[in-house]
């Protein structure tokens, strides 16, 4: 099992920056991908960015590409999302997620069905 705890959310003015982090514990070696999703009130959860833990290859949604950067530490237990040039439409609750070999369905990394472990989320308000 994997436990995920997010931190670093808050409020920022348009054009500002925030960094949110996710610390994973438990069966870290089983994690294949880590990702950030977000949910706007009244809308479905959407992918923001993913990172493959073995290769550090990344995916970004069109809406954040060029503004957000996902990264992981050497121990692959912490994933950070650096968010720059924030816009009001980035306001959402951001969730960290982890996909393990047990949860992986084999679809695209941005498919939330692949992720079996989720944090409680952190609010970002722009």
Q: Which tens digits make up the pLDDT trace of 106-116?
A: 889 999 999 99
Find the angle CA(7)-CA(34)-CA(41) to the nearest 5 degrees: 60
Give the pLDDT score at 74. Answer: 78
Average pLDDT, the chain: 94
Query: In this structure, what are the phi and psi dihedrals at residue 28, rounded to the nearest 5 degrees?
Result: -65, -40
Q: Is the torsion defined by CA of 66, 67, 70, 71 positive or negative? A: positive
How is residue 32 written in tokens? 């294949």
CA–CA dist 14, 87 (Å, integer): 5
Strand 10-11 to 122-125 pairing: parallel
Q: Is the distance from CB of 49 to CB of 81 less than 8 angstroms?
A: yes
The CA distances from residue 22 to 6, 92, 116, in Å, are: 4, 16, 15
Q: Which tens digits make up the pLDDT trace of 82-120?
A: 999 999 999 999 999 999 988 888 889 999 999 999 999
Q: Which candidate, 110, 111, 114, 112, places its Cα nearest to that of 101? A: 114
Beta bridge pairs of residue 75? none
Q: Is the distance from CB of 70 to CB of 81 less than 8 angstroms?
A: yes
Residue 6, pLDDT > 90, answer yes
Residue 62, pLDDT > 90, answer yes
Q: Which candidate, 115, 124, 61, places its Cα nearest to that of 90? A: 124
């Amino acid at each position: 099992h994997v436990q995920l705890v997010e931190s670093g959310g808050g409020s920022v003015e348009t054009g500002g920056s925030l960094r949110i982090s996710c610390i994973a514990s438990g069966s870290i070696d089983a994690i294949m991908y880590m990702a950030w999703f977000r949910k706007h009130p009244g809308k479905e959860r959407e992918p923001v960015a993913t990172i493959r833990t073995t290769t550090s290859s990344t995916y970004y949604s069109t809406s954040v590409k060029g503004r957000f950067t996902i990264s992981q530490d050497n121990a692959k237990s912490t994933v950070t999302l650096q968010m720059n040039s924030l816009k009001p439409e980035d306001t959402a609750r951001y969730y960290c997620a982890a996909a393990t070999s047990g949860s992986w369905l084999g679809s695209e990394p941005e498919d939330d069905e692949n992720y079996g472990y989720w944090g409680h989320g952190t609010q970002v308000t722009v």
